[in-house]
Structure 1
Amino acid sequence: MMLFGLILGILFFVIAGVELFGMIAATTQKIVLTRIYFLLSGLTALITFAAELLRVIAHFLVKGDLISSCMAAVTGAKAETVTGTVAAIDASEAQKLCEDDWQRGIWWDIGWLVLTTCLALLFAGLAGAYYHQLLDPSFTRTASSPPLNTPAPDAFPMAPYNMTSPYHQQDLPFVPPKYAPPPPEYVAGHPPPVNVGDKKLGEVEGLERVSLSDERRP
């Protein structure tokens, strides 16, 4: 039991030293120190996983010692029963309590193994991102995009008509609408069209004037 405790203590001191070095590297913002911490952070994640895995293994290897020390501390202790009376805990009850506590300790150690490993990997990823940012300041810079409220040249205004808008104060040349060209007789320089009915009426009136002039002759 003491051997496992000594090994775990050494591993945890190594992890604490690496993280302290990482704080110094982040404060000084030196690329060399940050690169060293980036390399050590991966090793720290591996050490963290190994230390917590060793804790789980030790929990099974020293099961008898853990239960024995627990029974020695619990046997004879005073506890309140379900009925509300206070009674001393005998050996059988102490063994049952200690075995249940050992079972709960397994899940606690496994959960702590998963949590600490995920945190170690997270710190390693942050160290890598910080190192790349120091090498290339534009590593995390996003491209600037145009403002979303800039209307297109031919867009219909969604807001009410506003003459004070800068888009209405522009002196733009007049562009005629795109319609089909007019017929040739309506083009400037051509005589106006003659209605067919008016033409026939003019011919009849001309014939009548000619006949009347012929009748008046001697």
Structure 2
Amino acid sequence: MRPVMIVVAFLAALWSLFAAVGYFRNVSYYNRLSATSLAVISIILGAIYAFICVVEAFGIFAAVTQRVRLTRIFAWLTGLIFILVVGTGLAKVVIHFALKNTIINTCIDSVDGGTYYFSGFWGPVTSGTIDTATATDWCNRSWNRGSWSEIISFLCTSFLAAMFASIAFGFYRQVLDPSSVANAWRAPATARNDTFPSHYAPPYVGGGGQQYPNTAPPYAGYSSNNYWVPPPGGPPPVNDASKPPGYEGWGYGAGTNAAPPPDNKDPFAGGEPYRGPATALPQRGDGRSDV
């Protein structure tokens, strides 16, 4: 949000600077036409817009440095700016209608007797002098157009001031929150740990720092720490009554050190002994022996 805050503060400072310069330039114009009330109003409005320009310049500095204290001050000052912008916009609308005659008469005095010029793109240049009737008609139409422009300007500037204030408070909340993405990026790689957003890949840790700053350590079989810790307690019992019997040397459940059963015999002991060629029995015609 810091780039957004810098751009918004820069645009607001530029707008308020142009407004302040315009109102200060109108002071000499109104004094020359003996419109003292309009000159005083121009001084007040120019001072307000100059103050807004200074505050916005301070906001740019606070956004660049990202200091919590400066950001807090600027956030509360944007609330004051919102009040000033709404107040000046409403005051300009009221002044436009309340001082209608003064504004129109000042305009007529400024235009009456002046010289106008008309020139075509290819045609000759013509000129003439503005009379009182033409000046009155032109100034009245100018005031009527200014009525709508003042109202629309009041609504637009009030909305923009509210939006700028909300952006400033949102930026202050982001700077104040240590778990925000902006603070996670701004912190050193060795100090991010859990504040680094999990949906981003962990940064490369150059030089020193923790061995595993943002991820779990590797599998123990691949670790460089070659040591073994025996499990707590002694070895498990040989026979467990809560488990079914397992197969062991001489049958089920006999135990590892049990003696062979008494009737253990060779399953092939009762068979016919081996006979070699010399002791072979005579064969019958069908291939079977006589035994």
Task: Structure 2: give runs of 5+ residues left out of the alignment.
Answer: 1-37, 119-124, 183-196, 201-291
- Structure 2: which amino acid aligns with 1:116? T
Cα 1:86–1:116 shift into 2, 3 Å = same
Shift of 1:87: 4.9
Preserved CA contact (<8 Å) 1:4 1:58: no
Corresponding residue number in structure 2 for 1:36: 73
1:112 aligns with 2:153: yes
Corresponding residue number in structure 2 for 1:69: 106
- Give distance in 2, aligned partners of 1:21 and 1:4: 26
Greater helix proportion: 1
Corresponding residue number in structure 2 for 1:58: 95
- Give distance in 1, aligned partners of 2:143 and 2:180: 49
Which of 50, 56, 68 in structure 2 is aligned with 1:13? 50
1:103 aligns with 2:140: no
C-alpha distance after superposition, 1:47-96 (max 9, x if no partner): 11111211122212322222112212322344579xx9865433222211
TM norm structure 1 = 0.57
Q: Percent identity?
A: 35
- Give distance in 2, aligned partners of 1:15 and 1:85: 45
- Give distance in 1, aligned partners of 2:72 and 2:108: 51
Cα 1:109–1:28 shift into 2, 3 Å = same
Cα 1:86–1:19 shift into 2, 3 Å = closer
- Give distance in 2, aligned partners of 1:20 and 1:121: 18
Corresponding residue number in structure 2 for 1:128: 169
Preserved CA contact (<8 Å) 1:75 1:89: yes
- How many matched pairs? 143
Preserved CA contact (<8 Å) 1:41 1:123: yes
Cα 1:111–1:143 shift into 2, 3 Å = farther
Cα 1:10–1:100 shift into 2, 3 Å = same
C-alpha distance after superposition, 1:101-148 (max 9, x if no partner): 011111111122122212211211111111111122544688749xxx
Matches of residues 151-190 of structure 1 in structure 2 within 5 Å? none
Which of 24, 28, 42 in structure 1 is aligned with 2:61? 24
- Give distance in 2, aligned partners of 1:14 and 1:115: 20
Cα 1:36–1:79 shift into 2, 3 Å = closer
- Structure 1: which amino acid aligns with 2:113? G
* Aligned partner of residue 76 in structure 1, secondary structure: coil
- Structure 2: which amino acid aligns with 1:95? T
- Give distance in 1, aligned partners of 2:81 and 2:116: 44
Aligned-residue RMSD, C-alpha: 2.5
- Structure 2: which amino acid aligns with 1:50? G
